Chain A
Amino acid sequence: MIANYGYKDGSGEYYISMNTDKCDGCGDCVTACPAGVLEMIVNDYDEKVAAVTDAHRKKIKYSCAPCKPVQGRPVLPCIAACQPQVIQHSW
């Protein structure tokens, strides 16, 4: 499943996409994220996968901002931590 967490508002599109079919449930992304944006859940089809927490879904533009400086943006820690390449950011 491609789970897109986030939103689109007047200022732009902010989605974290999780390809849950590739997710092995290791939880490394959860530990890597300095803002506590990610968590492991058991979804509706009883799979243990990474997801964006409820508390952050409506504000990831702001929650993820510290990892996205205007100049000299590094590789995002969540993406770097994920071996199976589950995570993508739309912005």
Chain B
Amino acid sequence: MAQEFWRWKEYNWRDPEESWNKAKMLTAGVDVGSVSTQAAVMADGQLCAFASMRTGSDSPDSARKAMDWALRETGLTLDRIRYVIGTGYGRVNVPFAHRTITEIACHARGANFMYGPNVRTVLDMGGQDCKAIRCDEKGKVSAFLMNDKCAAGTGRGMEVFADLLSVPLEQIGDLSYEVDQEPQPVSSTCVVFAKTEAVGLLRKGWPKNNVLAAYCSAMAHRVYTLLERLGVEGDFGITGGIAKNSGVVKRLEKELNLKALTPRYDPQIAGAVGAALFAHTLAQKEATA
């Protein structure tokens, strides 16, 4: 089988301190995205385990697998988890969830946890969408904007380019800086037309890295215009898969003249973490009611 350049690594993590053993209450969040699914487990509101994997064709199955994988080697079983919240595009397809909450609210809450209470602007670049969120010190949303109609400015757009140029997704960031001079951004927003434009550039003799640079900066600019509509206030954090793509992130930081915060954990799990935190709050409410 041909190499699939758009694939990224699936993995799981657990707290080496095994904090779940001492926890009074365990809660979980499952973020079923269109491309990836994450499950996060919280021990008394602190992250103790998570897993991140590609969403399969069957969402309930993906949700279950991600949860199982997060719990693997912790000795925990699903029935020990007091409250589970489903979020993301496929949030209604988490069969063991007690409630669903939109990914907008979960990302804001998750970013608040991962970046600290000073975060006011959150950009989430996911596999098939892009969200810009403004939030308060508690991680409550004060404004948001979402684009899930158009592939430009989403991970899917980057995957199209990874495939076109036969470059593994994780290497795009680094390669895009291996250029003599920063090229003009690709002018088409539409991924279909941007691809045609890129083919033209390659035919003109542009090295691959320059084409990558041109696309990364086009993407950074597109995301910049989304943020601009909402107004950017510091601190600023990026979540979602593309947060790992320095080719877009560093160019965006330059355009915004603002550095993105460094997260405590993998930025891809923010939605699941936010969901698990909502679960923690709701479970506490239930316990005292």
* Physical contact A–B (CB less than 8 Å): yes
Bound Cα distance from A1 to B222, whole angstroms: 23
| A53 at the B interface (CB under 8 A) | no
| B41 at the A interface (CB under 8 A) | no
**Closest approach, in angstroms, between the C-beta of B227 and any C-beta of chain A?**
12
By a CB distance below 8 angstroms, the chain B residues around A58 are 148-149
CB distance A44 to B102 under 8 Å? Answer: yes
By a CB distance below 8 angstroms, the chain A residues around B225 are 8
CB distance B230 to A4 under 8 Å? Answer: yes
Determine which of A2, A10, A43 lies in contact with B142 in the assembled complex, contact meaning CB atoms within 8 Å.
Answer: A2
CB distance A7 to B147 under 8 Å? Answer: yes
CB distance A10 to B102 under 8 Å? Answer: no
**Closest approach, in angstroms, between the C-beta of B152 and any C-beta of chain A?**
7
**Closest approach, in angstroms, between the C-beta of B123 and any C-beta of chain A?**
14
By a CB distance below 8 angstroms, the chain A residues around B105 are 44-45
Bound Cα distance from A6 to B140, whole angstroms: 21
Q: Which of A5, A6, A9 has the most CB of B within 10 A?
A: A9
Determine which of A2, A5, A8, A44 lies in contact with B101 in the assembled complex, contact meaning CB atoms within 8 Å.
Answer: A44
CB distance A7 to B190 under 8 Å? Answer: no
B interface residues, how many (CB within 8 angstroms): 26
| B19 at the A interface (CB under 8 A) | no
B189-232: which residues lie under 8 A (CB-CB) from chain A? 189-190, 193, 222, 225-226, 229-230
Given contacts A4-B230, A15-B229, A58-B148, contact A9 B140 (CB under 8 A): no
CB distance A4 to B148 under 8 Å? Answer: no
CB distance B188 to A2 under 8 Å? Answer: no
What 1/0 mask marks residues of chain A from 2 to 30 whose CB sits below 8 Å from any chain B CB?
11111111100101000000000000000
Determine which of B146, B189, B193 lies in contact with A4 in the assembled complex, contact meaning CB atoms within 8 Å.
Answer: B146
By a CB distance below 8 angstroms, the chain B residues around A59 are 149
By a CB distance below 8 angstroms, the chain A residues around B189 are 9-10
Bound Cα distance from A32 to B167, whole angstroms: 51
By a CB distance below 8 angstroms, the chain B residues around A7 are 146-150
By a CB distance below 8 angstroms, the chain B residues around A3 are 143-144
Bound Cα distance from A6 to B148, whole angstroms: 9
By a CB distance below 8 angstroms, the chain A residues around B260 are none
CB distance B190 to A8 under 8 Å? Answer: no
**13 contacts across the A-B interface (CB closer than 8 A):** A1-B142, A1-B144, A7-B147, A7-B148, A7-B149, A8-B222, A10-B152, A10-B188, A10-B193, A15-B229, A44-B102, A44-B104, A44-B105
Interface residues of A (CB under 8 A from B): 1-10, 13, 15, 43-45, 57-59, 90
